[in-house]
Amino acid sequence: LFSVVRESTIHSEARIGPFSHIRSGTLLREKVKVGAFCEVKKSTVDTGSKIPHLSYVGDTEMGKNVNIGAGTITCNYDGVNKHKTVIEDDAFIGSNTMLIAPVRVGKNATTAAGSVITKDVPDHALAIERTEQKIIEDWAKRKKQKE
């Protein structure tokens, strides 16, 4: 079980789990946890923050005591330019959240699991982005008939 760390600074008591990739330009401060199967690129992760597993964090400035839910992605590239994501102290990012940069998540703010965040989230706020679930009856049958 191994991870790769390239041209980055890892402070004391920071932990990196198996199969993670810490890419150039990353700073992991004290007591940061990067769990299994994560990628962190050109980002600062401040003291006590956690990226437990299965997440991509790129071009991000992360405050203290932030929790990143499993499957979270900072979408930093728009096809032309790279943009920055800012996640402030004590924020909680729900599992499978996509943060579409440039975007800021405020202090002590929360994003609901499965949200696609395209607008700044104010301090202490909850951001939920969901469309209504749509059920298409007999879809598989109709699809098969077309083939």
- Write out the catalytic residue numbers: 53
Cβ pair 111, 95 in contact under 8 A: no
Strand (E) or helix (H) holding 51 = strand 50-53
Sheet of 39-41: strands edge to edge?
4-5, 21-22, 39-41, 56-58, 73-75, 98-100, 116-117
